[in-house]
Amino acid sequence: MMTSFIALEGIDGSGKTTQAALLYEFFSSNGLNSILTQEPGGTPLGLSIAQFIKSNRGTTAFAESLLFNADRAEHVEQIIRPALVNGSHVICDRFVGSTLAYQGYGRGLPLEKLIDLCDEACQGLYPTINILLDVPVHTLDSRRGIGNRDAIEASGAPFLDRVRKGYLELARKSPRQWAIVDGSQSIREVSMEIQSLVRPYIYG
Ligand code: TMP
């Protein structure tokens, strides 16, 4: 049986967490085994790292990339690879694309070094498809309260705009690994589009 590893990517507030849950429901209602997981936070180590990064504004960019990748190494080895081997589809809210977009394009670390670091962490296991939910940064404030923002989001609109453009560049450079969905459509429209994107990976 073919199993797929689907990563949902996008800036904070793009709706990716809602869509990851809807995609999980879609898999379940079609009788397909799947797990829904996330980075950071898919493992106990990841949960601690997520907590630390969200509450510490001063973390340097390089330290951040090491922490996210420590979580990733654990996550791939303990959760993602075993699930795929056991015949389960994997839906992951953020993966390597997040490090390239946030620590690379957002915080200015050299992309080539991050690619190598991520490659070590994920042991060469990459998503079948990365789905980018693209939304313009200026639409975000209307979607969620400013008080909700964590340390990374609090880096502000110019930062998120660099991250958004980074994502778009990554997706355009590798069209076979990435699909771009207009995340400013309704929740239902976005979810239908995601379902049609994943169908070929599920049913061949
Ligand atoms: P989230 O749980 O709301 O998606 O928040 C996770 C935050 O961590 C989000 O702002 C994106 C950021 N992040 C990175 O900067 N690099 C990474 O590699 C990952 C996985 C997340």
Burial of 168 from C-beta contacts in 10 A (0-12 / 13-18 / 19+): middle
| CA separation for the pair 174, 19 (Å, rounded) | 22
What local confidence, expressed as pLDDT, does residue 147 receive? 47
| C-alpha 98 – ligand 1 centre gap (Å) | 6
What local confidence, expressed as pLDDT, does residue 202 receive? 87
Mean pLDDT for back-to-back runs of 10 residues, the chain (204 residues) = 92 95 97 96 93 87 96 98 97 98 97 98 98 91 56 75 97 98 97 97 82
- Tell whether ligand 1 has an atom less than 6 A from the beta carbon of residue 99: yes
Q: What is the pTM of this model?
A: 0.94
Identify any residues that bridge with 36 across adjacent strands, giving them in sequence order. Answer: 91
- Tell whether ligand 1 has an atom less than 6 A from the beta carbon of residue 19: no
For residue 28, CA distances in Å to 25, 74, 80, 129 come to: 5, 26, 18, 19
CB 167 within 8 A of CB 9: yes
Of residues 39, 15, 160, the one with CA closest to residue 97: 39
- Of all residues in the chain, the percent with pLDDT exceeding 70 is 92
| C-alpha 113 – ligand 1 centre gap (Å) | 19
53 CA closest ligand 1 atom index: 8
Residue found under tokens 């110019």: 158
Please name each of the domains of the chain with its CATH number. Answer: 5-203 (3.40.50.300)
68 CA closest ligand 1 atom index: 18
Best mutation site among 12, 67, 170 for ligand 1, i.e. most ligand atoms within 8 A of its Cβ?
12
- Tell whether ligand 1 has an atom less than 6 A from the beta carbon of residue 71: no
| CA separation for the pair 42, 46 (Å, rounded) | 6
The tokens for 143 are 């979607």
